[in-house]
């Protein structure tokens, strides 16, 4: 899968995608993540990516031309399944969205900034608008990082044990059961006996019950 991220702050994302699982996925050739600086597609000498809004409101709006040039350039090289815009007024991102996006070949994510982007970009170039939650960030970069991380880790082979993506929180609308590692007792705090029993059927039952109990207690909305 290939993800092209369009931003005015590529440095914000560079480090994130060069670490841990995201770096591993790219090195293994399972995911390609390309950062594009929108400023590179300006033609004026000040490399302006924003301008004052028509109508006299406060704030700056991202200009249409550099973004259109960049998207047109990318589209001339390959077909894209989605051109996503990160925005607090988009549809809410969740595990289901991550699952479906992880099946796509080529995706563009445009990070918004300032007061927004010229609305014509949303009308003519964007196929999907996604929010990562009901709060406002200073820009879409963190939203693009959150979405890309949760999408890429679902690509088969990215996690060393594929099972671990299948047993994630939210995969069955259930929260994951608690996990423990050695030592089996620390300061008198014990790991549940059943996990040391070696009886897989009992362990599976216990884990399922724990998932149900935690979901009922912490996220009852998921069971509706
Ligand atoms: N840009 C600013 N806030 C955002 C949010 N909550 N989700 C996605 N993009 C954003």
Question: Across the strands, what pairs with 128?
Answer: 84
- Measured from CB, residues less than 6 Å from any atom of ligand 1 are 86-88, 112, 131-133, 135-137, 140, 143
Q: What is the mean pLDDT of residues 41-57?
A: 95
Q: Indicate the length of the chain as a whole number.
A: 224
Domain 2-152: give its CATH architecture.
3-Layer(aba) Sandwich (3.40)
- Quick one: which H or E segment has residue 90? strand 82-92
Q: Phi and psi (nearest 5°) for 84? A: -95, 140
Give 82's strand partners. Answer: 107
Sketch the domain layout of the chain as residue ranges: 2-152, 167-223
How far is C-alpha 19 from the geometric centre of its chain's CA atoms? Answer: 15
At 131, the pLDDT band (50, 70, 90 cuts) reads very high
Q: What is the pLDDT confidence band of residue 56, given thresholds at 50, 70 and 90?
A: confident
Task: Count CB neighbours of 76 within 10 A.
Answer: 7
Task: Give CA separation, 60 vs 52, 53, 104, in Å.
Answer: 5, 6, 33
Residue 134 CA, ligand 1 centroid: distance in Å: 8
Q: Is the pLDDT of residue 57 over 90?
A: no
Which is the closest atom of ligand 1 to the Cα of 133?
A: 6
Cβ contacts of residue 190 below 8 Å, gap of 6+?
184
Give CA–CA dist 191/73, Å, rounded: 56
Res 217: pLDDT: 98
Residue of 93, 132, 148, 150 with the most ligand 1 atoms within 8 Å of its CB, for mutation? 132
Q: What percent of the chain has pLDDT over 70?
A: 99
What band does 166 get if pLDDT is binned at 50, 70 and 90? confident
pLDDT value at position 160? 83
Report the chain's mean pLDDT, rounded to a whole number.
95
Site to substitute for ligand 1 among 89, 140, 149, most atoms within 8 A of C-beta: 140
Class of CATH domain 167-223: mainly alpha
- The Å distance, Cα 148 to ligand 1 centre, comes to 14
Query: What percentage of the chain's residues is helix, strand, coil (to nearest 5)?
Result: 40, 20, 40
Helical ranges in the chain per DSSP H: 10-17, 20-27, 64-77, 95-101, 119-124, 141-152, 162-166, 200-218
Of the listed ranges 52-61, 123-132, 195-204, the one predicted with least confidence: 52-61
In this structure, of 82-91, 154-163, 171-180, the range with the lowest mean pLDDT score is: 154-163
CA of 141 to the centre of ligand 1 (A): 8
Q: How far is the CA of 122 from the centre of ligand 1 (A)?
A: 15
pTM as predicted: 0.94
Q: How far apart (Å, rounded) are the C-alpha atoms in residues 8 and 11?
A: 9
The residue contributing the CA closest to ligand 1 atom 4 is 88
Residue 44 is predicted with a pLDDT of 96
- pLDDT value at residue 162: 61
pLDDT range class, residue 111, cuts 50, 70, 90? very high
167-223: same fold as 2-152? Answer: no
pLDDT for residue 168 is more than 70:
yes
**Residue 13: Cβ within 10 Å count:** 20
């Amino acid at each position: 899968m290939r993800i092209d991220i369009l931003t005015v702050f590529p440095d914000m994302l560079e480090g994130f995608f060069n670490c841990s699982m995201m770096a591993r996925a790219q090195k293994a050739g399972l995911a390609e993540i390309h950062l594009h600086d929108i400023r590179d597609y300006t033609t004026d000498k000040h490399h302006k990516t924003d301008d004052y809004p028509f109508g006299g409101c406060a704030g700056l709006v991202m200009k249409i031309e550099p973004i259109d040039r960049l998207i047109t350039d990318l589209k001339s090289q390959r077909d894209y399944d989605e051109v996503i815009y990160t925005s607090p007024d988009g549809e809410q991102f969740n595990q289901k969205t991550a699952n479906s996006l992880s099946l796509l070949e080529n995706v563009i994510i445009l990070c918004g900034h300032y007061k927004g982007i010229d609305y014509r970009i949303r009308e003519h170039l964007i196929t999907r608008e996604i929010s990562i939650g009901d709060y406002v960030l200073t820009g879409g970069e963190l939203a693009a990082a959150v979405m890309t991380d949760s999408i890429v880790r679902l690509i088969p082979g990215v996690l060393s044990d594929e099972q671990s993506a299948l047993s994630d929180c939210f995969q069955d609308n259930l929260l994951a059961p608690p996990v423990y590692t050695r030592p089996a007792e620390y300061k008198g705090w014990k790991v549940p006996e059943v996990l040391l029993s070696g009886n897989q059927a009992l362990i599976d039952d216990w884990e399922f019950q724990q998932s149900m109990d935690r979901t009922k207690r912490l996220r009852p909305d998921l069971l509706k």
